[in-house]
Amino acid sequence: MQATTHTMPHAGVHEAHHEEQGFWRKYIFSTDHKVIGIQYGLTALVFLLFGFFLMMMMRWQIAHPGQPIPLVGWLLERVLGDVAAKGVMSPDLYNSFGAMHGTIMVFLAIVPLAFGAFGNYVVPLQIGAPDMAFPRVNMASYQAYVLGGIIMFVSFFIPGGAAQAGWTSYSPLATSIPTDGQTFWLVGMIFLITSSLLGAVNFIATIIQLRAPGMTWMRLPFFVWAQFVTGFLLLLAFPPLEAAGIMQLMDKVAGTSFFLPTGLAVGGELANISGGGSPLLWQHLFWFLGHPEVYVLILPAMGIVCEVIANNTRKPIWGYKSLVYSALCIGFLSFIVWAHHMYLTGMGTKVATFFQTTTMIISIPSVIILTCFFISLWGGSIRFNTPMLFCLAFLPMFGIGGLTGLPLGFAASDLHLHDTYYVIAHFHYVVAPGTIFALFAGIYYWFPKMTGRMMNEFWGRVHFWGSLIFMNVVFQPMFAQGMSGMIRRMADGGANYATATLQKQGVEVIGGLSDKMMNLHTMILWGAVFLALVQIPFIINVFWSIKHGKKVTSDNPWNATTLEWQTPTPPPHGNFAHAPTVHRGPYEYSVPGHSSDFIPQNETDKGSRQH
């Protein structure tokens, strides 16, 4: 491939470079989808690390309530003041760290990484497009994201600190807390929603309009399909939250009562409001986004896993059409399951029955997708490189996350599990060793295309095995804690609650938490510490490999079939020296009778590749 790239006529290369761009235009205010993708990626990784640090401090507080946080306690006190007096995390600080951990991880780290970074970098390449359909809208999308991120970050340092009402920001709690954190949160969210809206419009339009000649819908790599459905979820699910955000902002700033009921008392006094609002309305609007958001987190991850599995099993993905239709089904169904987050709000058993039915139905396409991946492994001669290891781990980890969600989807069992650590364990299994593992796989997999160098394989494996072990050390105990009744969001990790027992006639009718359950906090804390340590090789690996990694010897180091590997490395502005034409499906590996074990999508039947 490299050879053909080099023998290209000179005029073709010139076409791609209209003029030399200055530093600012090229790296900061770039309209090139690849630069924007990398900008998204780096920013999101920084937020991912920041969100993780917030949680590590919280884990210390949970395991050792009231004791100064080692190493960083003094810094917290100096920067944040009284809320961290003597380096001890106060309940207020715990609440704001908790709310911001969720917000940052979902809206500032995972979605921008999965959709903004990988989608931006890979989708136009995979469909054979020169760029996104609207490059300047793309730039505006990234800038809105950064602005939103800055507003969220700054909110830690304002008087009263950041938002404290959880990432779900339920009213009336969110409106009643007398600090400005929630206002910052809402304004920040409006920027982030605007960002994903611009991104979603751009992605969908690009996939509809800019597919290369011959790239029919059923020849799209599954990753593109996943991003396509994700785009629609963001496009249609986020606006209701934007509406809700505007209304909560009105409640907070203009004194309205959209989500505040008549007779609301705050601090023992009747609130001076008109009343007449509905707290349930906020929850409906929030979860109308909140549940499709889950699939925004998981679909791009499944897309990455599909690409890596097909490439490393060296055989066509099993059930391509099932994957595509399942993804479309998920996209549709995810709009009608949201109220399974609300069984305990008293919205009524009939409504609950409807939503538990749709919730059970949506698990079917998810299982189909996972099953297709598992069957794809069967009979393959698997290459166990770092991206593949992460993808192989994704399968059981996401499986655990998904299956433990079923008891939460049934109203009856949810009564017991709702708002416990079981819920935390469930969705972290989906997102952390699930989505984040897939994202790691994507980084290791596409790094050679972005930089022209491979990441270090040995340290990649250290990163993988360490992450796999300690992710489970962190999240597995939470299932047990949750089932034993440990409630989430307690600033002391349940220390008070643990001793709360009620005896009637010598029989314990309400039992506190056992020491066994409480002691698991210590194990989780150390799991988190080691999880942080094994990320160090990864961080060093990323930066070290840019300059010192093993140079790739071809444009297609993994011998892959999809179009992103048929470009120069790294792809220049405009991507393809000549517009590619597609002649075949995305996963033609090990075709009998063919000389190599892969046939790129742009190779004609005669065997010569077109650019």
Partner 1 sequence: MDIPYTSQPRPDTGIYNAKVGIWLFLASEVMLFGALFSTYILLRVGARPEDWPTGLLNVPIGTFNTAVLIASSVTVVMAWASLKMKQFNRFKLFQAITVLCALTFLGIKSFEYRDKFTHYEVWKTDGTRITGHLEGKPMFMTLEKVKAAGKESILFTPDLHHYSEGKKAMHERDHGDHKAVEIPVAQIKRLSAFVPAHSTYFAIYFTLTGLHALHVLGGAVVMAYLFGPGAKMWFTDPDRLTNRVEVSGLFWHFVDLVWIFLFPILYLL
81 within 8 A of 131, measured Cβ to Cβ: no
Judged by CB under 8 A, the residue of 147, 266, 281, 483 near partner 1 is 281
For residue 167, the SS3 value is: coil
Q: Does 292 bind partner 1 (CB under 8 A)?
A: no
Binding mask 504-543 for partner 1 (x = CB under 8 A): ----------------------------------------
In 210-277, where does DSSP find H-type helix?
222-253
- Give me the residues paired with residue 269 across strands: 266
- The CA distance from 590 to 592, in Å, is 6
Residue 266 found at the interface with partner 1 (CB under 8 A): no
237 touches partner 1 by CB under 8 A: yes
464: its two tokens: 């993988």
Q: Is residue 7 classed exposed, middle or buried when 0-12, 13-18 and 19+ CB atoms within 10 A define those classes?
A: exposed
d(CA 189, CA 186): 5
Of these, 87, 91, 135, 214, which contacts partner 1 (CB under 8 A)? 135
Window of 39-47, 94-102, 202-210, 560-568 that interacts with partner 1 by CB under 8 A: 202-210
Residue 214, interface with partner 1 (CB under 8 A)? no
CA distance 275 to 252: 13
- Alpha-carbon distance of 190 to 536, in angstroms, equals 33
For position 276 contacting partner 1 by CB under 8 A, the verdict is yes
Of 255, 379, 511, 570, the one binding partner 1 by CB under 8 A: 255
Kindly tell me which of 130 and 527 has the beta carbon lying closer to partner 1: 130
Please report whether residue 254 would count as binding partner 1 according to CB under 8 A. Answer: yes
For 440, list phi and psi in degrees, rounded to 5.
Answer: -60, -45
Residue appearing with tokens 């996104």: 132
User: In the bound complex, what is the minimum distance in angstroms from residue 146's beta carbon to partner 1?
Assistant: 21
CA-nearest of 90, 74, 115, 150 to 223 is 115
Q: Which residues of 348-370 are buried (b: 16+ CB within 10 A; e: fewer)?
A: eeeebeebbebbeebbebbebbb
245 vs 512, beta carbon nearer partner 1? 245
Beta carbon of residue 32, minimum distance to partner 1 (angstroms, whole number): 12
Q: How far is the CB of 274 from partner 1 (least distance, A)?
A: 5
Pick the stretch among 232-240, 442-450, 451-459, 548-556 that binds partner 1 (CB under 8 A).
232-240
Provide the minimum distance between the beta carbon of 335 and partner 1 in the complex, in angstroms, as a whole number: 10
The stretch among 201-209, 341-349, 360-368, 549-557 that binds partner 1 (CB under 8 A) is 201-209
Q: Closest separation between CB of residue 241 and partner 1, Å? A: 8
Stretches 131-139, 428-436, 493-501, 557-565: which one binds partner 1 (CB under 8 A)? Answer: 131-139
Angle between helices 421-430 and 386-403 (to 10 degrees): 140
Which among 449, 568, 539, 453 is positioned nearest to 42, based on CA atoms? Answer: 539
CA atoms within 13 A on the CB side of 259: 27
Within 7-66, which residues bind partner 1 (CB under 8 A)?
15-16
Stretch in the footprint of partner 1 (CB under 8 A) among 175-183, 193-201, 433-441, 469-477: 193-201
User: Which single residue is written with the structure tokens 């919730």?
Assistant: 359
Residue 194 beta carbon to partner 1: minimum distance, rounded to whole angstroms: 10
The piece of 35-43, 156-164, 277-285, 414-422 that touches partner 1 (CB under 8 A) is 277-285
Q: Of 205-213, 304-312, 360-368, 518-526, which part binds partner 1 (CB under 8 A)?
A: 205-213
Give the Cα separation of 157 and 123 in Å (integer): 38
The torsion angles phi and psi of 453, rounded to 5 degrees, stand at -135, 150
Nearer Cβ to partner 1, position 242 or 307? 242
**At residue 461, what is the residue type?**
R
Candidate list 69, 244, 391, 432; residue touching partner 1; CB under 8 A: 244
Q: Positive or negative, the Cα torsion across 483, 485, 488, 492?
A: negative
Please check whether residue 242 is in contact with residue 289, taking contact to mean a CB–CB distance below 8 angstroms. no
| Residue whose CB is less far from partner 1, 609 or 611 | 611
Smallest separation (angstroms) from partner 1 to the CB of 585: 18
Given the rule CB under 8 A, which of 204-212, 350-358, 534-542, 598-606 is the region that contacts partner 1? 204-212
- Contact indicator for 316, 587 with CB cutoff of 8 Å: yes
Is 183 or 404 the residue whose CB approaches partner 1 more closely? 183
Binding of partner 1 by 209 (CB under 8 A)? yes
CA angle 528, 533, 536 (to 5 degrees): 135
By CB under 8 A, the residues from 542 to 601 that bind partner 1 are: 574-576, 579
Q: Is 201 in the site for partner 1 (CB under 8 A)?
A: yes
The CA-based dihedral angle spanning residues 347, 353, 354, 360, taken in that order and rounded to the nearest 10 degrees = 130
How far apart are CB 13 and partner 1 at their closest, in Å? 11
Q: How many helices (H) and strands (E) does the chain have?
A: 24, 4
The Cα 547–Cα 496 span in angstroms is: 53
Q: Using CB under 8 A, pick the residue from 87, 214, 239, 452 that binds partner 1.
A: 239
Binding part of the chain for partner 1, among 68-76, 238-246, 462-470, 540-548 by CB under 8 A, reads 238-246
Q: For residue 346, count other CB atoms closer than 10 A to its CB.
A: 9
Instruction: Give 274 or 499: the residue with its C-beta nearer to partner 1.
Output: 274
Q: Which is nearest to 97 in space by CA: 140, 148, 54, 161?
A: 54
Identified binder of partner 1 from the candidate list 32, 77, 92, 131, rule CB under 8 A: 131
Q: Which residues contact partner 1 by CB under 8 A?
A: 15-16, 129-131, 133-135, 137, 197, 200-202, 204-205, 208-210, 235-240, 242-244, 246-247, 250, 254-258, 272-274, 276-278, 281, 285, 288, 574-576, 579
